[in-house]
């Protein structure tokens, strides 16, 4: 099995193998908020949990058999420059370009990439939230 090319911003990935009577050879790469990962390993799966207003950007190049996932929290890094420096994948404006650069580095071709977005919920349900509607702002980003 090839070693997956992984990118993280603040902590080691949670890697788990299948369990039970017939363990699966699939490696689950679990990323958290403000992290991303890419892999060229056909036996790995990249997952994230609990999106809420966050967005998961899922990218796959079916010809090169590479994929990646970004779990970003906020749309714009100007909100918190210090955090942007330490954990750029927290922000759409920094994380999305980095995700694609890492995918291109391991063989993805832009014209073949299939991109799916998940998340962006309005979890606050506040009538007067105004600019605090993070889910909608994340969708726009």
Active site residues: 54
The sign of the torsion formed by the CA atoms of 28, 13, 51, 81 equals negative
How far apart CA 36 and CA 100 sit, in angstroms, is: 10
Q: What are phi and psi of 135, to 5 degrees?
A: -55, -45
Who contacts 30 (Cβ-Cβ below 8 Å, separation ≥6)? 13, 14, 15, 16, 47, 48, 49
Specify the residue for token string 């063989």: 107
DSSP 3-state assignment of 47?
Answer: strand
């Amino acid at each position: 099995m090839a070693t997956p090319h992984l990118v993280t911003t603040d902590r080691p990935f949670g890697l788990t193998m299948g369990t039970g009577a017939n363990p699966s050879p699939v490696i689950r790469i679990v990323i958290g908020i403000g992290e991303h990962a890419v892999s060229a390993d056909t036996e790995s799966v990249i997952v994230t949990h609990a999106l809420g207003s966050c967005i998961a950007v899922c990218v796959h190049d079916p010809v090169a058999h590479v994929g990646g996932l970004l779990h970003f929290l906020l749309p714009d890094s100007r909100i918190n420059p210090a955090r942007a420096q330490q954990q750029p994948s927290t922000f759409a404006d920094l994380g999305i370009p980095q995700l694609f650069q890492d995918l291109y580095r391991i063989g993805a071709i832009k014209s073949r990439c299939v991109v799916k977005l998940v998340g962006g919920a309005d979890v606050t349900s506040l009538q007067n939230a105004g600019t605090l509607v993070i889910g909608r702002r994340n969708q726009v980003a």
